[in-house]
Structure formats: structure tokens, C-alpha cells
Structure 1
Amino acid sequence: MNDSVQPLALSTYSSDVAGEERAARDHRHDLWFKRTMFGAAMLVLILLASIAASTLWGGSLAFKTFGLDFLTSTEWDAVNNHFGALVPIYGTLVTSFLALLIAVPVSFGIAIFLTEVAPPWLRMPVASAVELLAGIPSIIYGMWGLFVFGPFMAEHLAPWINDYLGALPLVGPLFQGPPLGIGMLTAGIVLAIMITPFITSVMHEVFRSVPTTLKESAYALGGTTWEVVWDIVLPYTRSAVVGGVFLGLGRALGETMAVTFVLGNAQQFSASLLMPSSSIASIIANEFSEAYTDLHRSALIGLGFLLFVVTFFVLALARLMLMRLSRKEGL
């Protein structure tokens, strides 16, 4: 009997030792995995801080030379080394706002059409066309805007806008100007076409995530398609929709080549949307290779830092809005 108990005890002891070794090995692997993921997360923060610090250091000469005048001055004179960032900042914000104002309703309509209205045979071609638009390089949009849409704007749209919208009592000055074809309105429309596929894709995917039972219940109670969308789909996906909108805004703020082609690159401050202007990204792309003085290069790098700050605050605002929406949904 003792002979049979001893092998059993040895077998139990061996299995316990193997289990402890396996647990220790799993603990080491789990620790390595946590450290690797933590390192990846810290890498993002380090890169973000490094980019901000390097652009701030590169633009320090311009900030020290001009002070707050760098943010408030409209003069950009490379010959006399006097630089002000107000016009590029204004052009960046106005064109991005125009793009968002146009793209959000269009994206919402396309997403609702694909999710709730379109027949099955039409959904795939339209969805594929949206994805194709998202994959077109920005320089193609810029060339199309300069050679196709710009002349059409100058010949047909700009005169009509100037004659009819320019005569309105309050917003008239925004739409008064010569029919140049290039300017802030043209750049805003081209940007809207660029960011529409991104916002549409986000909205389409989140609208598809709404449980079918919720929508079928609303239809069963006699709700129309618009009532189902407004009362069921949008409240369910509100935070994700806001995130998609701000994702498109972030893309519009940093766009370079398309805006460079159609904005006009004029260092002048004008309330008219038909007049040329400049953006932070376009002025950096146009002048960085020709900046022959330290102050000029520092001013351009300082503009890059300002673009970083503007984008950071926009995305931070989006995050705060999403957090507030999440709290309301939790209530």
C-alpha cells in the first residue's frame, strides 16, 4: 500500500510544481505585456510633447522678437523681417468652419440614406464611392479645385453670390467681392468635399450599430423614418457622431496642398469670403524652402506651433463634449 501511495504523492508534487512554474511564467508574460503596452502609450505622449517642444523652440526667436504682436499683426513682410500670424490663423479657422458647415449636413444625409433609405442594390455602390473619395490624395483635390472648380466658381457662382447674397443686410459683406474663383469660400468648399467621406464613414458605421430591435419598435409604434432617426438613432449614437465631426475638423485644420492651390495665398485680411487669403499650412508650404533668414524660418516654425495649439484645443474641446454627453447618457 505504501508503494502505491508514494508514486501518487510524487505525481501530485510534480503537478503542483508544474502549475507553479506555469503560473510564474504567465505572470512574467503578463508583466511584459503590460510594460510593452505602457511603453507604447508613453511613446505617443513623448512624441506629442517632443513635437510641441521642438516647434516652440524653433519659433522662439519670432515669439521673442514680436511678442504678442506676432498673434495680432496682419503684416507679413519677408523683405523687412516683420511677421504677423493673424491672417493665416484667420484663414485656417474660416476655411475649416466653412468646410464643417457644408460637410456635416451632407455627411449626415449620406449616412442616413445608406442606413435607412437606400435600397440594398444601391447601398454598395454609394458606400464604395464614399470610400473612393476618402482615398483620393489631397493634391488631386487641389488641382481639381484650381483648374475645374475655380473657373466655374468665377464664371457662375461668384457673380450670383455677389449679386444676391451680397445684398443681404447683415451678412452681405461676407459675400461681396470680385469673381476671382479662388478664395476662402472656394477653399472651404474643396475642404468640405475632402472631409465629407471621413465624417460619412464614421456616421455610417455608428448608425449601423444601433440595435435593429429599437428601430423596429419605433416603426411598430407608428414612427416615421425621420422620427426614428431623430428620436432613436441620433440619441443612441450622439457621442460617436460628435467625435466623427471633430475628426473631420481636425483633418480640415491641417490640410495643406488642396488649400494651397485654391486659397490664393494672399497676406491680406478681408471679411469677404470671396477674397483670397492664406492658411497656416499653406504659408509654411509656400515659403519654408525660400526662408533665407533665421527670423523668417522661426516665424514659419512658430506658425506650425500655433497650428498644433489650435488643433490640440479643438480636439480637447471635442473630448470634453464627448465626456459631457457620456455623463448625460449615464443619467
Structure 2
Amino acid sequence: MDMTTQQTPPPPLPPPAPPERRPAARGATRPGDRIFLGLSRGSGILVLVIMAAIAAFLTYRAVLAISKDEANFFTAFEWNPSGVPPQFGIAVLAFGTVVSSVIAMIIAVPVAVGIALFITHYAPRRLAGPIAYVIDLLAAVPSIIYGLWGALVLVPNLDGLYGWLDAYLGWTGILEWNQGAPRSLFTVGILLAIMILPIITSVSREVFGQVPRMHQEAALALGATRWEVIRMAVLPFGRSGVISASMLGLGRALGETMAVAMVLSPSFDIDASLLDPGGGTFAQNIAGKFNEATEMGRDALIASGLVLFVITLLVNGAARLIIARRKEYSGAAA
């Protein structure tokens, strides 16, 4: 009998090995990535170098001026760097800059947030689009246009507002009006508020538009009204963005020059009432006196510019600290 051998099937071949994956390199490996990394890093370093150069230049010229100043640079109420001996101080300028900017922020921030909420959550789409477009255009208007409007339209029509404030709040002394021309720090604050309003509104609108839809829908599903949705979901999410927008507007208010110079009647006195004409700001004083200043006068103006530079850095640093402390409540990481 023929014996046939039973052949066993060959063992199955092992599956092909997956392609070897190289670990992602921490640095840039492609030429384009390396170029982009170098340009980005160089740009950041260049900004720091420029800021350091500006600070060094301002400090050097400021030291030259302050070393020859016979008055107290921080508390003196006069500006005569060309006198013999030179005497000048920044008390009036610092007061005017801070007060006018605070007035502008008090007026502009609530109005800007309200407009941004109206555009994003209340206005119909056909109306929200044109309003947002007009606000973006207002943010691009040059400051000289605002200054002309303030001098020709705003100042002549503030008598009624000043009279009302004097009648109801004049007893405070801060808002007492002595029938002078309305070319005061309060007028400057109103004009600055109008100027920074489009900037704060535009940024706040973009932030409110990024609120996750499911956060709002969850609040509505729990029975919240539209205002409660805004209060519990929209405003906490956009708090950091609103603070950033406000600081951006404050930066423009602190450094505004031509518009302030066109509506303010400058003087080196600090009045108890914000409605009395007079006062001054750093930027307005530099713009008004730089062309006719002597070498000593220019060094004194540069010294005042250094103070404004430091104030701006402190404001930006404070904004960063506020945003960092409130980051966990903003919902930005959701």
C-alpha cells in the first residue's frame, strides 16, 4: 500500500512591521522651520533691544537734565528749564495725565462693553454687521480729526453739562464750575473716552464672540435668562480679554498728544475742580514745547518722557498680573 506523506501547511508569515517612527525633534529640522524659528527669535530679541535702547537714551538725557534742576523734579509746580537756574517739575503733568486717563476709562469701558454685548448677543445680524463695521472705522480715525472735532464741536457744547454737574455735584468741590471755558481735564477725559471707545469695543466684541456655544446653551437649558447667561457664561469667559482691551485703550489715552493739545488750556496749576480750565499732560507738554525748547529744555522734556515711559510699562505690567491671577476664572482654557 502506497504511503503518502501528509504535508503540513507552512506557518503564516508575520505581519509586516510598522514603519519606524522617529521621535519628534525638539528643534526645527527642516530648512523652512529653521529659518522661521530664527526670524521669530530674532524679532523678539530685536524688540527687547529696541526697548532697552529707548530706555537707555531716555535715562541718559534725563539724568543730564535732572542733575541741573534746582527744583524738585517730582513735586515742583513750574516748568522753566531755560531759566537761570533751571527749575522744572512734573507734578502737574503727572496729575493731568493720570486724571484725564482715569476719567476716560470710567466713561469708555462700561459703554464699550455694553456695545460689544449688544452686537454679539442682542442685535440682529443685519444690524450687528453695520454697527461693527462703523466701530472698526472709528478706531482708524487719526487723532487730529478727533482733536478738531473736540475743539470745534465738543468744547462749545459742554456748557449745559458743566452747568448740570455744578448744580447737582458742585458741592463736592471736584465738579464745581466757575463759568470758565470748558477747556479742562474733564473735557480731555471725555474726548479721550470717545477716542478709545472703538478700540475697547472692537477687542471686547471679538472676545465675546469666542464664548463656547455650549456654555450658553447649558445655561439656557437650566432656565437662565439672557442676562444671566451673559453674567454667568459670557463675562467670566471674556474678563481677561476685556482687561486687555482696556489696557490697550489706556495706553492710547496716556500717550495722546494732538487731540489733548487742541482742547486743553494748559497751565502749571492743579485746581481742586476738574471743570476749571488748566492742567497739562506729558504728551501735550512735549508736543507744545519741543520746537521752541533749548538744549536744556529738550533734556527736561525727555526726562518727562521717561516718566511717561515708566508709567506705561507699569500699567502694562499690572494688566499682565491681573490677567494671570484671573486666568483660572476666565474659562479661556475650556
Q: Same fold (TM over 0.5)?
A: yes
How do 1:14-163 residues align onto structure 2 when only pairs under 5 Å count?
Answer: 26-66=29-69, 69-78=72-81, 80=83, 81-153=86-158, 155-163=159-167
- 75-84 vs 144-153, greater mean Cα deviation: 75-84
Q: Report the alpha carbon displacement of residue 269 of structure 1 after superposing the two structures with TM.
A: 1.2
Q: For 2:272 and 2:325, locate their aligned partners in 1 and report how far apart those are by CA, in whole Å.
A: 34
Contact 1:187 1:262 in 2 (8 A): yes
Counterpart AA for 2:74: L
Let me know the Cα RMSD of the aligned residues. 2.0
Counterpart AA for 1:126: I
**Cα deviation per residue 1:296-327 (whole Å; 9 max; x = unaligned)?**
11110001111100000000000111111124
Who is 1:323 aligned against?
A: 324
Q: For 2:152 and 2:224, locate their aligned partners in 1 and report how far apart those are by CA, in whole Å.
A: 47
Q: Report the alpha carbon displacement of residue 66 of structure 1 after superposing the two structures with TM.
A: 3.2
Counterpart AA for 1:216: E
Q: For 2:329 and 2:156, locate their aligned partners in 1 and report how far apart those are by CA, in whole Å.
A: 48
Contact 2:75 2:90 in 1 (8 A): yes
Who is 2:173 aligned against?
A: 173
Q: For 2:221 and 2:87, locate their aligned partners in 1 and report how far apart those are by CA, in whole Å.
A: 67
Q: For 1:236 and 1:219, locate their aligned partners in 2 and report how far apart those are by CA, in whole Å.
A: 16
Aligned length: 302
**What TM-score do you get using the length of structure 2 for normalisation?**
0.86
Q: For 2:43 and 2:304, locate their aligned partners in 1 and report how far apart those are by CA, in whole Å.
A: 29
Contact 1:139 1:258 in 2 (8 A): yes
Who is 2:244 aligned against?
A: 243
Q: Report the alpha carbon displacement of residue 139 of structure 1 after superposing the two structures with TM.
A: 0.7
Who is 1:217 aligned against?
A: 218
**Cα deviation per residue 1:178-209 (whole Å; 9 max; x = unaligned)?**
33111100000000000010000111001000
- 70-79 vs 203-212, greater mean Cα deviation: 70-79
Q: For 1:71 and 1:327, locate their aligned partners in 2 and report how far apart those are by CA, in whole Å.
A: 39
Counterpart AA for 1:94: V
Contact 2:244 2:319 in 1 (8 A): yes
Q: For 1:68 and 1:103, locate their aligned partners in 2 and report how far apart those are by CA, in whole Å.
A: 37
SS in 2 for 1:175: coil
Q: For 1:132 and 1:27, locate their aligned partners in 2 and report how far apart those are by CA, in whole Å.
A: 42
Q: For 1:228 and 1:235, locate their aligned partners in 2 and report how far apart those are by CA, in whole Å.
A: 10
Instruction: State the structure with more CA Rg.
Output: 2
Counterpart AA for 1:214: H
Counterpart AA for 1:46: V
Who is 2:4 aligned against?
A: none
Q: Does residue 164 of the first structure (1) align with residue 165 of the second (2)?
A: no
Identity within the alignment, %: 43
Contact 1:92 1:280 in 2 (8 A): yes
SS in 1 for 2:326: helix
Q: Does residue 257 of the first structure (1) align with residue 258 of the second (2)?
A: yes
Who is 2:198 aligned against?
A: 197
Structure with bigger helix share is 1
Q: For 2:36 and 2:285, locate their aligned partners in 1 and report how far apart those are by CA, in whole Å.
A: 44
Q: Report the alpha carbon displacement of residue 222 of structure 1 after superposing the two structures with TM.
A: 1.5
4+ residue runs of structure 1 moved beyond 4 angstroms? 25-29, 327-331
Contact 1:104 1:199 in 2 (8 A): yes
Q: For 2:251 and 2:272, locate their aligned partners in 1 and report how far apart those are by CA, in whole Å.
A: 23
Match of 2:291 among 285, 289, 292: 289
Q: For 2:134 and 2:175, locate their aligned partners in 1 and report how far apart those are by CA, in whole Å.
A: 32
Q: Report the alpha carbon displacement of residue 295 of structure 1 after superposing the two structures with TM.
A: 2.2
Q: Report the alpha carbon displacement of residue 137 of structure 1 after superposing the two structures with TM.
A: 0.8
Contact 2:200 2:245 in 1 (8 A): yes
Counterpart AA for 1:173: G
**Cα deviation per residue 1:27-48 (whole Å; 9 max; x = unaligned)?**
4543333222111100000011
Provide closer, same or farther for how the CA distance between residues 228 and 79 of structure 1 changes in structure 2, counting only shifts above 3 A.
Answer: same
Q: Report the alpha carbon displacement of residue 54 of structure 1 after superposing the two structures with TM.
A: 0.9
Q: Report the alpha carbon displacement of residue 121 of structure 1 after superposing the two structures with TM.
A: 1.7
Contact 1:62 1:70 in 2 (8 A): no
Q: For 1:37 and 1:121, locate their aligned partners in 2 and report how far apart those are by CA, in whole Å.
A: 40
Q: Report the alpha carbon displacement of residue 252 of structure 1 after superposing the two structures with TM.
A: 0.7
Q: Report the alpha carbon displacement of residue 214 of structure 1 after superposing the two structures with TM.
A: 1.3
Provide closer, same or farther for how the CA distance between residues 134 and 212 of structure 1 changes in structure 2, counting only shifts above 3 A.
Answer: same
**What TM-score do you get using the length of structure 1 for normalisation?**
0.87
Q: For 1:136 and 1:77, locate their aligned partners in 2 and report how far apart those are by CA, in whole Å.
A: 35
